[in-house]
Structure 1
Amino acid sequence: MNFQKLVLASVMMAAGSLAMADDAADVEAAIKKWQDLWNAGDATAATAQVFTEDARLLPPDGPMVEGREAIAAFWQPVLDSPAKDIELTLIAVDIQGDTAIETGTWAVTVPADGGGEMQVGGKTLVVWKKGDDGQWRMAQDMWNNGN
């Protein structure tokens, strides 16, 4: 490989790395947005901003939920419950073009038996899709309870 091709290949690899870093930061911002909207308590507004139109939830021990409207209907009773202050933590994100795969954890504050509060949580695996508008939205959201 001649010097010019080597320099061009290096520049292209660096540009690709920067784009992936930008996408990873954008996914992390979208996770924060979901957390903030969840904590605000309006499932319809939250799902409209953060989920793809044809998104799927795969909740533990329950049937699959498909589409924004159904996802909002799934989440609203949870948001109306005493559960509060969701905390989402990104462990890793793998970007492949317009798809990102997130591995993370979640924790929610709930009433404890006998009074007080406690945190419950688990792990998450989320598939994000980058839309034509450049926004990352959840296409598939799966989580479990516990460590």
Structure 2
Amino acid sequence: MERSLGDRECVVGIASEATMSTLLLLLALVQVDEPYQRFAAAYATLDADRVVEVYTEDALMLPPGGEILRGRAAIRDRYARGFDADRERGHTRRITFELVDRIVSGDVRSDYGYYTIIGRSPDGHENRSRGKFAKVWVRGRDGVWRIRSDSYSAAPNP
């Protein structure tokens, strides 16, 4: 049995439909969550240009206590200010994500969960901050998932 997965081919000799469905689901989840890995890798290098590649050109960011930011340029500026300040002080950052819920409908999905940012100063002091997020992702014609809407706010540390 052969099934096409877009640009990938999966050839299976003898497989039940349940096994095939499970395999297709696992492949879809790996592809869907890859953007979080790209985001985290760019975040760790304090590279605002790479971070905004995960956003659509017309993305919206809804930061807590601020105006809605429209488009990659505005979102890039927000990240760049924070990253530049960290770089000047010799600080590092990394971010992790914990998904709580996901709703998928075709080429649109909504993710809800928590993020944790871990900052480290040159003297080794570590600072953790935790927040919650709601993200709307869209899959482009190129098959890549990008953030269309990004909303986040503080959450208590566990």
User: What TM-score, normalized to structure 1?
Assistant: 0.78
Amino acid at match of 2:134: L
Counting matched residue pairs gives 133
Residue 6 of structure 1: aligned partner: none
The structure with the greater share of residues assigned to helix is: 1
Q: Distance in 2 between matches of 1:79 and 1:101?
A: 27
Tell me, what secondary structure is at the counterpart of 2:134? strand
Shift of 1:105: 0.9
Q: Distance in 2 between matches of 1:14 and 1:63?
A: 48
Shift of 1:15: 7.7
Residue 151 of structure 2: aligned partner: 142
1:90 aligns with 2:115: no
1:68 aligns with 2:72: yes
1:118 aligns with 2:127: yes
Amino acid at match of 2:49: T
Tell me, what secondary structure is at the counterpart of 1:134? coil
Shift of 1:24: 3.4
Higher relative contact order (CA 8 A, sep 6+): 1
RMSD: 2.5
Among 38, 45, 50, the alignment partner of 2:43 is 38
The percentage of aligned residue pairs carrying the same residue is 26
Shift of 1:67: 0.3
Q: Is the 8 A contact 1:83 1:110 kept in 2?
A: yes
The structure with the greater share of residues assigned to strand is: 2
- Structure 1: gaps spanning 5 or more residues: 1-10
Q: Is the 8 A contact 2:93 2:120 kept in 1?
A: no
Q: Which of structure 1's runs of 4+ aligned residues deviate more than 6 A?
A: 13-18
Q: Is the 8 A contact 1:52 1:137 kept in 2?
A: yes
User: What TM-score, normalized to structure 2?
Assistant: 0.73
Q: Distance in 2 between matches of 1:56 and 1:92?
A: 21
Amino acid at match of 1:93: R
- Structure 2: gaps spanning 5 or more residues: 1-16
1:127 aligns with 2:132: no
Tell me, what secondary structure is at the counterpart of 1:126? strand
